Amino acid sequence: MNSYKSFTLALEKAADLAKRDIKEIELIAVSKKKPVQNIIEVVRQNHVSFGENQIQEIETKWPDLKMKFPNLSLNFIGSIQSRKVEAIHEHCDVIHSIDRLKIIKLFSNLESSTGIKRKYFIQINTGNESQKSGVLFQDAEKFISDCIGNYKLNFVGLMCLPPINEDPKVHFIKLRDLAKNFHLPYLSMGMSGDYETAIACGATHIRIGTHIFGERN
């Protein structure tokens, strides 16, 4: 898949411009709505990190993929419904969209009962958009404190989706500064349209679909 190779070259260039080590940046290939064969083409180019946002699609595609390629890492990047938590915990290695204490309690109970540990990002709604998931920015400090102080989950960083009609840099910097306040090392921010800005602002995980797999139908 030539588009994958082309994007990795563009990513290296963006990292160089930002004076960043490319090894600090995890490329999550967002494979939602894409067939298994397309994913395998990317896997065969030694890519291991993928992202999906629908648990029904994950259950259809990923058990067989992970059996065939055990080293793959699956990132859940969609909004989380309570009734889907068990399946998300079962299939996904990293969850990027934690935004409610109810959800955290469910994951915490699952980790206690199964002994299986996952990594978690807290999603911050940096633009305070009513239609979007994520902790409202003005509530973020208290929420993060409650998460870290009261639950034994492995919270590794913060995630955001900037408003589409605003400068993403403003939101990436807000997220970066918030993460620093809590010594959280990872920032999940940046997609196909704004990944270069995200890298310049310190992104450690970028979520790329279109540049790797092409437009979704």
Categorize the per-residue pLDDT at 1 as very low, low, confident or very high, splitting at 50, 70 and 90. very low
Domain ranges for the chain, please list them: 2-213
Q: pLDDT tens digits, residue range 125-146?
A: 999 999 999 999 999 999 999 9
Q: Average pLDDT of 11-33?
A: 97
Q: What does the alpha-carbon distance between residue 171 and residue 175 come to, in Å, rounded to a whole number?
A: 6
Question: 86-117, pLDDT tens digit by residue?
Answer: 999 999 999 999 999 999 999 999 999 999 99
**With a threshold of 0.85, does the pTM exceed it?**
yes
Q: Taking the alpha carbons of 111, 185, 140, 161 in that order, is the dihedral positive or negative?
A: negative
CATH number of the domain at 2-213, please? 3.20.20.10
Mean per-residue pLDDT for 118-131?
96
Share of the chain above pLDDT 90, in %: 97
Can you say whether the dihedral through the CA atoms of 136, 199, 70, 5 is positive or negative?
positive
Residue 11 has pLDDT above 90, yes or no: yes
Residue 214: predicted pLDDT: 85
